[in-house]
Amino acid sequence: MPTDRMDEPLLAAGGVVPLDVAVAGTEDEPTSSRAALLRQGNFVVGVILLAIVVIPVLLAPVVSAVGPDVQNPTATFLGPSPSHLMGTDQYGRDIWARVVYGGRYTIGASIAVVILGGIVGTVLGLVAGYVRGAVGFTIMRGVDLLLAFPGILLALGVTAILGPSLVNAVIAVAIVAVPLYARIVEGAAREIRNLPYVRAARALGAGSGHIIFRHVLPGALPAIVVQTTVYLGIAALWIASLGFLGLGVQPPTPEWGQMVSDGQASLSIAWWVAVFPGAFLAAFVVGVSLVGDALRDRLNPTAAGT
């Protein structure tokens, strides 16, 4: 006798679940996850801080009436005012314009770091965690070698070898990020490769490449997302640090770390030159960290409250 499909049972990990209940749960899960995130205070505060920083940076040509490099020798070291929201520097350049345009370099470089370092580190971690053997051993010993160096010292050494520029700073910080991604992804891949559905795919003749990208990588994605969110703020700090030391963006191009370095000499007479770019950098890093903490709590099944 034919039966209504809605009455058919669906085999699940925890037993037999009616199909309509399973489908409803699948449809409601994204909505409930978003609602749970919005109920987390750190997520909401982080998003607000990021919006305060990122929106003016994205709309820099709209929110700034002048360019970041326009000099006015008659308006040097002017304090914050309606005509210059964040004052001017020693060359009469508008600090507000330089902060919003400079954020494009700091944030853009940070995004480039996590993309470059994340891709390389993820590939190495997937190969090492799934293939294992001599290949995995060799990859992870190289990762351990990179982890043995303090991150900032490794970035300084690479930048000193390659030369001062924003591109070289991105490469240097990305090299520091590679072993962090590789270690996390390798651990996730080692666990996922032994799960029943992966063993079943292997028994059915699926190739290593298919299993890695179809099964192992999706399973490791939560750890990759959390690592990317957390490291984005760290990358911004290190890009700004290299800029502060003169190893990143070169003058007159604005960048938050380089602007703080320029303003430290005049801190006692024109505090706004260094404080405002530093405040934007701090707000961005704190905002990213808060969002990363919230995502970690939601994506980690062992976290409290999940």
222-267 residue pLDDT tens: 889 989 998 999 999 999 999 999 999 988 899 999 999 999 989 9
List phi, psi (to 5°) of 16: -100, 125
- Domain spans of the chain, in order of start: 40-299
Q: Kindly tell me if the per-residue pLDDT of 3 is higher than 90.
A: no
Which of the four pLDDT bands, split at 50, 70 and 90, describes residue 2? Answer: very low
Q: Counting every residue, how long is the chain?
A: 306
- pTM of the entire structure? 0.83
- Determine the 3-state secondary structure of 12 from DSSP: strand
**Average per-residue pLDDT for the chain:** 85
What stretches of the chain adopt beta strand conformation (E)?
9-12, 15-18
Report percent pLDDT > 90 for the chain. 57
CA distance 88 to 264: 14
Own/partner long-range contacts of 69-75 (Cβ < 8 Å, ≥24 apart):
69/93, 69/252, 69/254, 70/94, 70/97
Instruction: Report the candidate in 64, 72, 183 with the shortest Cα–Cα distance to residue 117.
Output: 183
CATH classification (class only), 40-299: mainly alpha
Residue 122 structure tokens? 């993820």
Match 């994340």 to its residue by tokens. 118
182-223 residue pLDDT tens: 999 999 888 888 888 888 888 888 887 888 888 888 888 888
DSSP code of residue 215: I
Question: What is the reported pLDDT for 91?
Answer: 94
By the 8 A CB rule, do 238 and 249 touch?
Answer: no
By the 8 A CB rule, do 217 and 184 touch?
Answer: no
Question: What is the reported pLDDT for 33?
Answer: 65
Which of the four pLDDT bands, split at 50, 70 and 90, describes residue 31? Answer: low
DSSP string covering 58-111, please?
Answer: HTHHHH-SS-TT---GGGTTPPS-SSSTT-B-TT--BHHHHHHHHHHHHHHHHH
CA distance 219 to 222: 7
Question: What is the reported pLDDT for 118?
Answer: 95
Question: What is the reported pLDDT for 241?
Answer: 93
Q: Kindly tell me if the per-residue pLDDT of 21 is higher than 70.
A: no
Instruction: Report the candidate in 62, 95, 70 with the shortest Cα–Cα distance to residue 81.
Output: 95
